[in-house]
Amino acid sequence: MTLTEFIQIIMGFIGSLGFAILFNIRGKRLLFASLGGLLSWLLFVLLGNFLADEALRYFIVAMIISAYAEVMARILKTPTTTFIATSIIPLVPGSALYYTMAHAFEGDAENFIAKAIYTLQLSCALALGVVVVTAFTRLVYRLKEKRGHH
């Protein structure tokens, strides 16, 4: 891990903490919600040692983060949204979106399309990772509930 990456992880944590405050999260939940942001970028950086493809890394990190959110939500008895909304913050492709716009208005078609596709890839990978875990958790709970009735 380089110093730049270390600084990034800390900044990701601060960013998540800021959003957690804006979402009015308090107490113990504030800590674990912001830690999710730290975790997400830490994982992204660590996975970079094995995987070059960023979209794939986004997908994997999003899945792990959602699992973390589901577990924390059960432990602290609170909605999963608390941890998902804050943990994904460092993964939101703000920079890619900005450069997409910038290239568009510079009339730089080639770079615009490349950046736009990149932004889309990242957002889709992120959302899909979250969705996969959400769907899986719901399936498990539905099965559990059904068994409970019989």
Residue numbers at the binding site for other proteins (CB under 8 A) = 7-8, 11-12, 14-15, 17-19, 21-26, 29, 33, 77-79, 81-82, 84-85, 88-90, 92, 94-95, 97-98, 101-102, 104-105, 123, 126-128, 130-131, 134-135, 138
In sequence order, which residues have a C-beta less than 8 Å from that of residue 127 and are 6 or more positions away?
Answer: 62
In sequence order, which residues have a C-beta less than 8 Å from that of residue 87 and are 6 or more positions away?
Answer: 16, 33, 36, 37, 39, 40, 65, 68, 69
Smallest distance, other proteins to C-beta of residue 11, A: 4
Smallest distance, other proteins to C-beta of residue 25, A: 5
Nearer Cβ to other proteins, position 30 or 56?
30
Euclidean distance between CA atoms 135 and 123, whole angstroms: 18
Amino acid in position 94: G
Euclidean distance between CA atoms 120 and 112, whole angstroms: 12
CA angle 40, 7, 22 (to 5 degrees): 60
Euclidean distance between CA atoms 95 and 101, whole angstroms: 10
Smallest distance, other proteins to C-beta of residue 95, A: 4
Smallest distance, other proteins to C-beta of residue 71, A: 17
Count the residues in the chain. 150
Nearer Cβ to other proteins, position 14 or 51?
14
Smallest distance, other proteins to C-beta of residue 53, A: 20
Nearer Cβ to other proteins, position 46 or 127?
127
